[in-house]
C-alpha cells in the first residue's frame, strides 16, 4: 500500500517509539555507531521493530538515523554506508506485517553549514544523497527526516532525496520553547520552517524530540494555525531528559500521554509517535485510543 492510500481512509497514522534509548537499553555503548548494530546486533534491532509493530504501530522507522556519509565519517565507516543503510531497511522489512510501512530515518549530519561551520551545501547534499539512494533501493515506503535544527540542512536532505527518488518524505524539526516562541537552537522558527517545507513538497511537517507532551501540543497548535489542512507529525519525547545516577531518564509515562490524547487528535490529519524515552507502552496506549476514536 502507498502512504497516500492510507490517508484516504484514515487520518491518524501511528509511528513507533524511540529507537536510540531502546538500543542503549540493549547494550549500545556511548561512542558506538548505532547503525553498525544493523549488522552486529541484527537480533536486537529486529526485536525493537517487532516490539513496535506488536504494540500497534502503522509504520516503523529504520535504524539509520545517523546513516549519512558525513555522520558515518565520525566513526570511520563512510565506506560501509550502503551496507549499513541497506541492512537497516532489510531488518525492518523482515519484521513488517502486511499493510504496514517502513520509513527510512534520516537525521542531521552533525556538521554545521558555512558560514557557521565548515561544510558546504553541496557536501551536505551529496552526503545525504548516498544515504537516500541506499534507503530507497532497499525498499523503504518513504523517508522520515527528523530532529533537524537548521532549515538549510533539512532542505539539502530534501534536495538529495529528489535527486534519487520520488518517494514521500516527512520533515520534522526539533524546537525549543523560548519567550519569543518556538524556535530551533539554530534559529529556525515554526513559520519559516512550514513555508519552506510546504514549498519543498513535504508529505507531512512537524516536530519530534523536544521537551515532552505539553510542549509538543503547544507547538502543534502553532503548526496548525500556519498549516491549516496539511498532515502534521508530532513525535514527543517522554518528557525532559533527566540524569539519574549517571543514566539519562525520561519520566512521562504512557498514562501521561493518554491523558493528552484528545488534544493531540484534534490536530488530524496527524502522524503520531514517540521520541526519546518512549517505549512500547506509549505506542500501545495510542493504538488503543486511536482504535476507540475510529470506533466511536
Task: Give me the residues that bind Zn ion (CB under 5 A), please.
Answer: 209, 237, 275-276
Distance linking the first and last C-alpha atoms of the chain: 25
Q: How far is the CB of 173 from Zn ion (least distance, A)?
A: 12
Closest CA to 148 of 115, 177, 120, 186: 186
Nearest to Zn ion of 190, 276 (CB atom): 276
Helices (H), 10-139: 20-25, 37-40, 42-55, 69-73, 81-95, 121-138
Collapsed DSSP state (helix, strand, coil) of residue 159? helix
Residue 108 CA to residue 94 CA, distance in Å, equals: 26
Q: How far is the CB of 237 from Zn ion (least distance, A)?
A: 5
Q: How far is the CB of 2 from Zn ion (least distance, A)?
A: 28
Nearest to Zn ion of 138, 170 (CB atom): 170
Nearest to Zn ion of 167, 272 (CB atom): 272
| Cβ(276)–Cβ(237) below 8 Å | yes
Nearest to Zn ion of 155, 275 (CB atom): 275
Q: How far is the CB of 110 from Zn ion (least distance, A)?
A: 15
Nearest to Zn ion of 51, 209 (CB atom): 209
Q: How far is the CB of 203 from Zn ion (least distance, A)?
A: 21
Q: How far is the CB of 235 from Zn ion (least distance, A)?
A: 8
Residue 39 CA to residue 266 CA, distance in Å, equals: 41
| DSSP codes joined into one string, 58-92 | SEEE-S-TT-SHHHHHTTT-GGGHHHHHHHHHHHH
Closest CA to 17 of 258, 206, 279, 253: 279
Collapsed DSSP state (helix, strand, coil) of residue 181? strand
Instruction: Burial-class residue 10 by CB neighbours within 10 Å (0-12, 13-18, 19+).
Output: middle
Closest CA to 272 of 239, 233, 217: 233
Nearest to Zn ion of 12, 18 (CB atom): 18
Nearest to Zn ion of 151, 276 (CB atom): 276
DSSP state of 112: P
Q: How far is the CB of 219 from Zn ion (least distance, A)?
A: 14
Amino acid at each position: 500500500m502507498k502512504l497516500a492510500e492510507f490517508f484516504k481512509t484514515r487520518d491518524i497514522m501511528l509511528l513507533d517509539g524511540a529507537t536510540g534509548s531502546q538500543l542503549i537499553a540493549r547494550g549500545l555503548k556511548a561512542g558506538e555507531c548505532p547503525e553498525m548494530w544493523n549488522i552486529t546486533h541484527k537480533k536486537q534491532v529486529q526485536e525493537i521493530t517487532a516490539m513496535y509493530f506488536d504494540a500497534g504501530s502503522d509504520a516503523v522507522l529504520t535504524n539509520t538515523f545517523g546513516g549519512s556519509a558525513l555522520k558515518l565519517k565520525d566513526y570511520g565507516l563512510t565506506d560501509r554506508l550502503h551496507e549499513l543503510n541497506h541492512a537497516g531497511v532489510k531488518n525492518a522489512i523482515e519484521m513488517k506485517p502486511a499493510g504496514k510501512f517502513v520509513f527510512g530515518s534520516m537525521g542531521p549530519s552533525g556538521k554545521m553549514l558555512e558560514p557557521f561551520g565548515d561544510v558546504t551545501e553541496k557536501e551536505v547534499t551529496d552526503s545525504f544523497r548516498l544515504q537516500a539512494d541506499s534507503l530507497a533501493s532497499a525498499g523503504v515506503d518513504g523517508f522520515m527526516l527528523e530532529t533537524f535544527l537548521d532549515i538549510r540542512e533539512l532542505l539539502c536532505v530534501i534536495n538529495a532525496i529528489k535527486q534519487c527518488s520520488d518517494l514521500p518524505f516527512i520533515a520534522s524539526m526539533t524546537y525549543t520553547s523560548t519567550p519569543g516562541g518556538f524556535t530551533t537552537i539554530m534559529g529556525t522558527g515554526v513559520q519559516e520552517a512550514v513555508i519552506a517545507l510546504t514549498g519543498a513538497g513535504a508529505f507531512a511537517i512537524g516536530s519530534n524530540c523536544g521537551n515532552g507532551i505539553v510542549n509538543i501540543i503547544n507547538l502543534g497548535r502553532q503548526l496548525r494555525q500556519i498549516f491549516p489542512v496539511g498532515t502534521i507529525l508530532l513525535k514527543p519525547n517522554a518528557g525532559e531528559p533527566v540524569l539519574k545516577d549517571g543514566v539519562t531518564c525520561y519520566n512521562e509515562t504512557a498514562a501521561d500521554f493518554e491523558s493528552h490524547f484528545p488534544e493531540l487528535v484534534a490536530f488530524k490529519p496527524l502522524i503520531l509517535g514517540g521520541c526519546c524515552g518512549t517505549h512500547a507502552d506509549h505506542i500501545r496506549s495510542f493504538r488503543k485510543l486511536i482504535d476507540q476514536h475510529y470506533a466511536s
